Structure 1
Amino acid sequence: MPREVPPPRILAVANQKGGVGKTTTAINLGTALAAVGERVLLIDMDPQGNASTGLGVPREHRRVTIYDSIVDGRPLHEAAVATQVPNLWLVPSDPDLSGIEIELGQADRRSFRLRDAIDRLKQLKDSLKPTYVLIDCPPSLNLLTVNAMSAADAVLVPLQCEFFALEGLTQLMRTIDLVRSSLNPRLDIQGIVLTMYDRRNALSGQVEADVRGHFGDKVYQTVIPRNVRVSEAPSFGKPALIYDLKCAGSQAYLNLARELVRRERARRRSEQLLEKAE
């Protein structure tokens, strides 16, 4: 009997503060996970569509988008387009997402539209299912972010190494607690990724010490450095790993992907042991 393939692990890449490297992390972590052998679906939930642009998917190729899935119930696999990265697919964004709060109004299951779409995705044949679904959230708390967190198993938090980012992190923790208590009791913090890290700046080290002191093992050992090549890559419609594999930022995202996979395998082993004990 063939081994049962586990359902995809669904991670919302979220931070209510803008400019922390959220979309950059979604793009490059997705690319790095694909590079280490995972099948990845990246869902662009931001009306600005930066993840779609950064992966080189032009607007004319975005015929079916996440908007069609959330509003009209179109299957996610119909919206998914192949990227230039093998084993990485994208569900593109649509500017119409910016009006979703008004459009859905009091619609049935308005906070669970993305969860329902992903549940249907899980019914596909194992050969078509992704092993990871990454959701690039908008930098605000709105119905799109609520949909993402209601659908996710856990939240991956990119955190810029600056003082005000810590205040944004506090707000995000409150949001996660709220969603967990009212919409998605299984929601967890998968990890916190320190981004735009500058070893020459004492503040980066102070922020790192504070975050590790408070969140402990939830903070990834891998940190993402400030890197010009990573910043340049989206303007060429490429992930940094395609634009310049050898740069420090690309290597950091590869290390992050490996660390994430190790964490997830350890989590699955722990869950299996608990199931056997019961």
Structure 2
Amino acid sequence: MAKIVAFSTNKGGVLKTSLAINVAGSLATQGKKILIIDMDNQGNIATSFGQDPDQYETTIYDLLTDLTDKHLSDAIVTITPNLDIIAANDDLAYLEIDILTDAKKYPDCFNLLNRVIKRVSDDYDFIIIDTPPAMGLVAANVFNVADDVIIPLQPEQYAFRSLVKTVGAIEKFKATNKSLQIVDVVPTKVRNTNMHHAYIDAAKNYTKSMDIPFSSIMIRDTVKYGEMTARLGMPVTMIEHPSKILSPYKDVFDSLVKELGYLD
């Protein structure tokens, strides 16, 4: 069965998608079979691979709301031989309304994603889940099925508060999902300022008190991650022979995958 890895925090703009696609890309290029599931209605997983999320007739929304499972094969899009995606688009923004207003049809609303993943888990080594910056029904579905959660942390005031809130939300789901654990907190968009150093130190102290690993990898504050993905239509970790300019960015994400212990 696949290891299910989610990237989650309720703060937006902290490189969740960049982390997700680059970890997935690094694993795929090392021979692992990967499925990325986009659980964010912004649809950034598809666009990261040069795809238009609105072009797909079948997305994760259809799989979550149609209990017949007839659309599963239509939703899986092959990007490379080792990497598939299930896209999301604006339809997913209506999920909570559609589900919570029809309790008779969806009595087990926290396990909709679990039902989908059970049908594909044996086909992959890793299932990577990108999540929205919110702690609602979508996040509940993710926490009910994930094995590992990686939390990106932008070292600023509101992001630090989001870290505490995200950890608290995850802790509540450990009672129903015994395999759920936070495996890393990864500093992102880090600048060499006293304020950022102070928030990183505070976050390290907090995670230590909660017995949560804190990454030795720091993702620096640069626009190049987004620029490279948009220009190349793929994460930097999937470039076979990166240039001297791109190599340091690829190395950062490859090092993160090794730190997580996902490669032998």
Cα distance in structure 2, aligned partners of 1:204 and 1:39: 36
Match of 1:3? none
1:89 aligns with 2:76: no
Match of 2:137? 143
Alignment of 1:1-278 (within 5 A): 7-59=1-53, 61-73=55-67, 74=69, 76-83=72-79, 85-105=80-100, 106=103, 107-122=106-121, 124=122, 129-181=123-175, 183-198=176-191, 200-216=192-208, 218-236=213-231, 237-242=233-238, 246-261=246-261
Cα distance in structure 1, aligned partners of 2:11 and 2:230: 22
Q: State the TM-score, normalizing by the size of structure 2.
A: 0.86
User: Where in structure 1 do 4 or more consecutive aligned residues deviate above 4 Å?
Assistant: 242-245
- Are the counterparts in 2 of residues 54 and 233 from structure 1 also a CA contact under 8 Å? no
Find the residue that maps to 1:186 and give its secondary structure.
Answer: coil
Q: CA deviation at 1:163?
A: 2.6
**Residue segments in structure 1 that go unaligned for 5+ positions in a row:** 1-6, 266-278
Q: Compared with structure 1, are the counterparts of its residues 175 and 60 closer, same or farther at alpha carbon in structure 2 (3 Å cutoff)?
A: closer
RMSD of the TM alignment (CA)?
Answer: 2.2
Q: Which structure is richer in relative contact order (CA contacts within 8 A, separation 6 or more)? A: 2
Q: CA deviation at 1:9?
A: 0.6
Cα distance in structure 1, aligned partners of 2:93 and 2:186: 27
Q: State the TM-score, normalizing by the size of structure 1.
A: 0.82
**Residue segments in structure 2 that go unaligned for 5+ positions in a row:** none
- Are the counterparts in 2 of residues 163 and 207 from structure 1 also a CA contact under 8 Å? yes
Task: Among all aligned residue pairs of Structure 1 and Structure 2, give the percentage whose two residues are the same amino acid.
Answer: 28
Q: Compared with structure 1, are the counterparts of its residues 31 and 195 closer, same or farther at alpha carbon in structure 2 (3 Å cutoff)?
A: same
Which amino acid in the other structure matches residue 169 of structure 1? L
Q: CA deviation at 1:180?
A: 2.2
Count of residues in Structure 1 that have an aligned counterpart in Structure 2:
250
Q: CA deviation at 1:98?
A: 0.8
Which amino acid in the other structure matches residue 49 of structure 2? L
Q: CA deviation at 1:111?
A: 0.9
Cα distance in structure 2, aligned partners of 1:250 and 1:230: 10
CA-to-aligned-CA distance 1:158-213 (integer Å, 9 cap, x gap): 111223211111111111122223x4243211211111122x22223222222223
